[in-house]
Structure 1
């Protein structure tokens, strides 16, 4: 399934540029992906679409400080946008035992790293966790979680900065520590 997701990410610059599921399925089949992989990926993408439906992410910079941009979400309910409550700097996300088991320590640590780096605001984090819980594997591999994070950003139209994109796309193998 993850190979299909990577193909979709690389070939469609944003979620709204992606064709409808039937047409996408035909294109994926023409590129040689197995029917089961395509079906799993399309179901996962459908869940991603539902999770991000009605969300509009806005970047708000603090006065005079472009480096500390805050991302807020607006959820459209019945046509009227309502601001999502911002997460308090003193709040803490507690993961359920099933989330801890399915995600594993390495993925939970990576999610926390992205949060502390201001790459994954709480709204996006919840979508990443929800989509990771819908992914196969027990626990989910870190490389697969990175693909999930990329797909969540892709679906919302938020492009991570170059350093984060490098971290998400590059494998840790072969890196030399300095």
Structure 2
């Protein structure tokens, strides 16, 4: 349900270039009218606040120091959330320079911040789009990811 709210917000306010300066109370009321539960709304809004906070922390700057030949090893908890297909897609996006080590870690952080038992490749693609959109300097990567997400002929991305 949280993923549905995040996708709704992303498509309504971000992807459509709608007015972003929305009062939080108004936003909560709109989401309730759209059929979402208050508990899920608060979780989704908190998730977005944590995403915004990620780009402000200095801790992620240390991630860019890793060598180009380094390999990301997933923790057992991450492997439970991200199946082989999702992990492979993250690696693919890193190889084609859509994700940097820093944005990859932000994506993984936000995935682990979701309260869901069901998470698949389509969800991953949306999370990646949201992260890239929210991190300044990733406009080209966002555009490429958007093309990968919306393209009718996704080839190997199916």
TM-score, L = length of structure 2: 0.76
The structure carrying a bigger strand percent of its residues is: 1
Give the helix-richer structure, 1 or 2: 2
Which is higher, the Rg of structure 1 or of structure 2?
Answer: 1
Q: Secondary structure at the match of 1:17?
A: coil
**C-alpha distance in 2 between matches for 1:88 and 1:43:** 33
Determine if contact 2:55/2:135 at 8 Å carries over to the other structure: yes
Moved more, 147-156 or 31-40: 31-40
CA distance in 1 between counterparts of 2:152 and 2:111 reads 19
Going from structure 1 to structure 2, the CA distance change for 1:84 and 1:97 (only over 3 Å counts) comes to: closer
Choose from 97, 120, 133 the match for 2:76.
Answer: 97
Q: Equivalent residue for 2:4?
A: 3
Distance in structure 2 (CA, Å) of the matches to 1:3 and 1:139: 12
Q: Which moved more, 1:25-34 or 1:112-121?
A: 25-34
Aligned position for 1:61: none
**Is 1:4–1:33's contact at 8 Å kept on the other side of the alignment?**
yes
Q: Deviations over 1:44-84 (max 9, x none)?
A: 11221222225xxxxxxxxxxxxxxxxxxxx49xxxxx887
1:1-178 aligned at under 5 Å gives the runs 1-13=2-14, 17=20, 19=22, 21-54=24-57, 75=58, 85-138=64-117, 140-157=119-136, 158-159=138-139, 160=141, 162-169=143-150
Over aligned residues, Cα RMSD in angstroms? 3.2
Whether the aligned pair in 1 keeps the contact of 2:63 and 2:101 (CA below 8 Å) is no
- Whether the 8 Å contact between 2:5 and 2:41 is mirrored in structure 1 is yes
Q: Which sections of structure 2, spanning at least 5 residues, go unmatched?
A: none
**Corresponding residue pairs, total:** 150
Q: Distance in 2 between matches of 1:176 and 1:2?
A: 25
Measure, in 2, the Cα distance between the counterparts of 1:107 and 1:122: 16
